Amino acid sequence: MKNNRLAFVLVTTVAIAIVGAGLSFFFGRFINLAGIGGETMPMSLPPAAQQETAAAITYAPPSPQDAPASIKEAVLLGANILAETGKYAAPYVGNKLSCTNCHFKAGITQGGKNGGLSLVGVGASYPQYRKRQDYAVDLVTRTNDCFKRSMNGKPLPEESKEMAAIVTYYQWISKGLPVYAEIPWLGLPHLKSTHAPDKAKGGQVFDAKCAVCHGKNGEGTNAAPPLWGDTSFNDGAGMHKPANIASFVHLNMPLGNPDLSVEDALDVAEYVAAQPRPHFSNK
């Protein structure tokens, strides 16, 4: 009797194992074919498809004036802060710059030639990994980085009216853009050149092309902001990096008629970056 029972248990166990393996194989194939948890379906589009998606994205930001009543006040305040930062966010600004000095027209541009740094789409692009923090940062952190560095000021309280307005503005002008899509007009393309920047030649370019608006000593005028000195951005700002200055200058300067060659842009960027300015202290 004992031998019979033992045989029965062994046969039953083997049968269950075979059936279980069969079901696992069948449903495993089904799940993979459906793209759930398997490797059959890719997690992201291939490069060619990504390029097609980026090319299909069009620039059509809504006007701040068209924001719905529930957020219109915040959107308009956000636009005003970017356009006249020292007026609408005075306690947090430590120099004579406004956001619009880099983000032309409060960021509602398509970037590229004469467009400055666009902000259209940042509301759909963050949180985003940044090397500076070696982690993903949200729009609040990214904005306060600018206030501490480019504005040489203080971070806005995260729950302040001003910060809420700025973030609401970002998101409104990004309305309709796909979340985490490749927005082709965001950022600055680095210049491709084998030219070795020459600071001395950069000084000559500055005197000939830039001083009339930015001042002989980079102190700024009514026409353009200071590029160095106590009232300009500090040495922690992204625009302190020669590569960023060169790209921005090549695409946008002189304002309204950018005509600097890549070589001249690299030279003048080296010159401007070498000038004295406030030191960034992350306290």
Query: What's the domain range around 243?
Result: 199-273
pLDDT at 36 over 70: no
Q: What average pLDDT does range 126-144 have in this prediction?
A: 96
224 and 168 in one domain?
no
pLDDT at 53: 55
Whole-number Å distance between alpha carbons of 47 and 52? 9
Per-residue confidence (pLDDT) for residue 221, from 0 to 100 = 98
Question: Do the domain assignments include residue 110?
Answer: yes
Task: Return the pLDDT at 283.
Answer: 66
Domain membership flag for residue 75: yes
Residues 68 and 110 both lie in one domain: yes
CA distance 220 to 97: 10
Which pLDDT score, from 0 to 100, does residue 163 have?
A: 98
Q: Are 224 and 159 in contact (CB under 8 A)?
A: no
Same domain, 220 and 141: no
- pLDDT score recorded for residue 46: 52
Provide the pLDDT confidence category of residue 255 given band limits of 50, 70 and 90: very high
Is 159 inside any structural domain? Answer: yes
| Cβ within 8 Å of residue 91, ≥6 positions away | 154
- The more confident residue out of 52 and 106 is 106
Q: Are residues 163 and 206 both part of a single domain?
A: no
Residue 221 resides in a domain: yes
Identify which of 185, 184, 180, 176 has the alpha carbon closest to the alpha carbon of residue 43. Answer: 180
- Specify the pTM: 0.81
Same domain, yes or no: 151 and 236: no
CATH code of the domain covering residue 269: 1.10.760.10
How many structural domains compose the chain? Answer: 2
Distance CA 6, CA 77 (A): 81
Average pLDDT over all residues of the chain: 86
Domain boundary among 173, 190, 209: 173
Tokens, residue 125:
């692009």
Q: What is the pLDDT of residues 9-19, one digit of tens each?
A: 444 444 444 44
State the pLDDT at residue 45: 43
104 and 128 Cβ atoms separated by less than 8 Å: no
Residue 108 within a domain = yes
**Residue 205's pLDDT is what?**
98
Burial 73-102, CB ≥16 within 10 A → b, else e: ebbbbbbbbbbebbebbeebbbbbbbbbbb
Q: Let me know whether 76 and 133 are in one domain.
A: yes
3-state secondary structure of 46: coil
Q: Are the beta carbons of 255 and 222 closer than 8 angstroms?
A: no
**Domain for residue 30, yes or no?**
no
Residues 161 and 96 in one domain: yes
Residues 203 and 134 in one domain: no
